[in-house]
Chain A
Amino acid sequence: MNARDEILARTRAALADVTPSDADVQVPWTYGQPVEVGDVLATFVERVEDYRATVVRCAASELPAAIAAGLKFTGTDKAVVPTGLDPEWLSAATGVRFVSEDAGQLGNDDLNRLDGVVTAAAVGIAETGTIVLDHGPGQGRRALTLVPDRHVCVITAEQVVSGVPEAVARLRPSIAARRPLTWISGPSATSDIELSRVEGVHGPRQLYVIVVG
């Protein structure tokens, strides 16, 4: 018997005592419900800041200036631009050199020489201060928000939901389209030394979030 069939046979034998009614487990949970967090946007901002990320809010018309300020604040000189990002967003950041992948993907070492990235986002979660990327247009392939050391991330007010259940429900179409998902809660961090949290390991050490609207 091959390994697959043998493991499945072992599994069936192991469960010989389980009756159909035992197997029909009811999960006492209603999926996709909002959670109570009060002001969703205010909570989102507060919780993202708790991770020592920087958060600013602006109106849609102020976005290019806010992005320019974010790049300056984080000290970004050379930034990669994801495919599909609205060029208007970068119009105010005059001192920054932008590199696109329109002519083909950058190698890891090329990417490693850039110091920042500007992206859009898919969903924000207030209760946990989380941003989810589904790597659709304007968010870039996964490496772009990983290798450069600074991430300026733009999220709209409508994208922010109360809690994890609503976020999972909203991400259903993305996962159905087989898109990868990256959930980001603050800059990279570790608690591996004496269980005390240190921000900044391999992922971007600075996360700068702009909430629009």
Chain B
Amino acid sequence: MSEQTHQRLTPAPPSGQLIDSPRFPVAAKHELGNAQQRANLRHATHTIRDKRARVVGELDNWEQLRLAGEAIKNKVLRNLPDHLVRLEASLTANGATVHWARDAAEANRIVVGLVQATGSHEVVKVKSMATQEIELNEALEDAGIAAWETDLAELIVQLGHDRPSHILVPAIHRNRTEVRDIFREEMGRYGTPAPPDLDDNPANLANAARGHLRDKFMRAKVAVSGANFAIADTGSLVVVESEGNGRMCLTLPDTLISVVGVEKVLPSFDDLEVFLQLLPRSSTAERMNPYTSIWSGRREGDGPQDVHVVLLDNGRTRALADREGRQALRCIRCSACLNICPVFEKVGGHAYGSVYPGPIGAILNPQIRGTASEVDRSLPFASTLCGACGDVCPVRIPIPELLVHLRHEVVEAKKADHGVHLPHAEPLMMRSGGWVMGDHRRLEAAQRASTLGGGLLGRFTDHLGPLPWPLSAWTSARDVPTPPTETFREWWRRVRGDDPGPAASGDTPAGHTPEETR
């Protein structure tokens, strides 16, 4: 599929850095050109939406659970230093070694160092957003350590020289036939090959993944994971998964390194009763996911005896400093907001230029990465503000409100960049719009002008594509219907000419009779 660069241990991802991705509208246009991907996404997102609605509907107290989840997370975030110190103490008491990482580079240095200390040249990985975020796999590769993704979707992405496009199902943009082709082509280069007669039946594809990864699990000395929750009072980490690849990684190797965002802490083990109800139903739309592992540091005679936890900041404290924006740190990475989003459904995850796509990515990335990059500045605008994401969020993050809040932040950041207040097209248009609408004569004149254009254009097309600046700011990502050939006021006069109505101002042409009643 792709060129083998010299001496790489694992499949090379696409070249370039995510942070250098183009602005969302530019990337979206590119992604929308992929009809196969659009079909795959539509099928997958609609399937999971319906399933989620069904399992959430089973619980009478769903709203109470959401309120509890929101409150627990708020409690954590507003007292984060205390909870982190408690977590560190309890993990340490349980025999784990706790490390702290200010940013991605520091986290990668710590993990690489820990793996090197074991003498191992490979690690097996549990699907983890935090390690995707810090691009740990490439840091390990650079250090001569092969990182094997073991989650089925992550395996598809890794073997496909691809990037994840969804938080829960990173290969959601691929269909079964594409997966079969990737497995047949690539598996043999990195271990046990796919059966030569592999077809595209998902059960057989899952079985091929089992066969490919089995000896990697059996021989692995080191595993790297994230965690869904870190429990402060008992010093436990929680990993929620489906396939058993997580259990393999968390159980069989001698050394386990878990990279955990500082916002993942929960005060108490008891809080799991809320989150283990909210997460599976919102995420895979199941009453419960197949496997949840909970471990408290090192356990004599059971599992890894060398246990490390890397607590990761990497922009989280920046987000925490924003009174409004810090609410995004409640996120439990369920991906319900992606699955319900009309924009994500069409565009897919790659256009967001981050491992966190969709509505949550649109509010999380500009906060944890900042608004210096083109893509991060564009993300708060990658939404129709329809509100569906906020409605499904299990921890009640007001995503639409935060999008508006961050749009303001982006505008402020741009202004600060330019040093002066540059005229912006939108306020100008709003001001002139206000002037036109402030007087009915001006409005009618403007409307007549527009129907003229509509009459002309209507013969050729039913919509307008890109328009020249400043309207291009609007039409670069949207089609505009051609203006109607008759305004409402003209229609009213034509149809109801004899009835001035309460709003009419007496200048209705006399002697005009309605042709029809509608």
Contact = CB atoms under 8 A, between A and B. Distances in A.
B426 interface: no
A188 B290 CA distance: 6
A192 B156 CA distance: 9
Contact of B207 (A128, A146, A181, A200): A200
A51 B71 contact: no
10 contacts: A3-B100, A23-B79, A27-B68, A29-B67, A108-B219, A164-B272, A169-B270, A180-B295, A183-B294, A194-B44
Interface string A12-37: 11110110001101111101100010
B209 A201 contact: yes
B288 interface: yes
B80 A11 contact: yes
Interface in A103-162: 105, 108-109, 112, 125, 127-130, 135, 141-143, 146-147
Q: Which 5 A-B pairs have the closest CB atoms?
A: A203-B244, A202-B244, A29-B68, A14-B321, A201-B243
Interface in B58-106: 60, 64-65, 67-68, 71-72, 74-75, 78-81, 84-85, 88, 94, 99-102, 106
B292 interface: yes
A61 interface: no
A193 B152 contact: yes
B210 A180 contact: no
Given A175-B269, A182-B293, A191-B169, A25 B288 contact: no
Given A11-B80, A135-B302, A201-B210, A27 B171 contact: no
A184 B81 CA distance: 34
A22 B218 CA distance: 50
Nearest to A203: B244
Contact of A13 (B174, B203, B272, B321): B321
B118 interface: no
Given A15-B78, A143-B252, 11 more contacts: A3-B106, A11-B81, A11-B84, A15-B80, A27-B72, A29-B64, A146-B244, A169-B270, A178-B94, A183-B288, A201-B243
A124 B153 CA distance: 30
Interface in A1-16: 2-4, 6-8, 10-15
B286 A17 contact: no
A96 interface: no
Interface of A: 2-4, 6-8, 10-15, 17-18, 22-23, 25-29, 31-32, 36, 47, 50-51, 105, 108-109, 112, 125, 127-130, 135, 141-143, 146-147, 164-165, 167-169, 171-172, 175-176, 178-196, 198-204
A194 B51 CA distance: 13
A202 B250 CA distance: 13
A141 B302 CA distance: 5
Contacts of B79: 23
B317 A189 contact: no
Interface string B33-49: 00000001001100110
A196 B206 CA distance: 12
Contact of B287 (A17, A128, A181, A204): A128
A148 to B, nearest CB: 12
B288 A190 contact: no
A13 B313 CA distance: 14
A1 to B, nearest CB: 10
Contacts of B270: 31-32, 168-169, 172
Nearest to B203: A198
Contacts, number: 252
Interface string B359-386: 0000000000000000000000000000
B169 A192 contact: yes
Contacts of B242: 188-191, 201
B74 A25 contact: yes
B198 to A, nearest CB: 13
A58 to B, nearest CB: 25
A196 B46 CA distance: 11
Given A7-B262, A25-B75, A188-B291, A14 B317 contact: yes
B80 A202 contact: no
A7 B244 contact: no
A14 B325 CA distance: 12
A176 B244 contact: no
A57 to B, nearest CB: 21
B303 A172 contact: no
Interface in B190-229: 202-203, 205-207, 209-210, 213-214, 217-219
B106 A193 contact: no
B175 interface: yes
A202 B217 contact: yes
Given A27-B72, A193-B176, A201 B303 contact: no
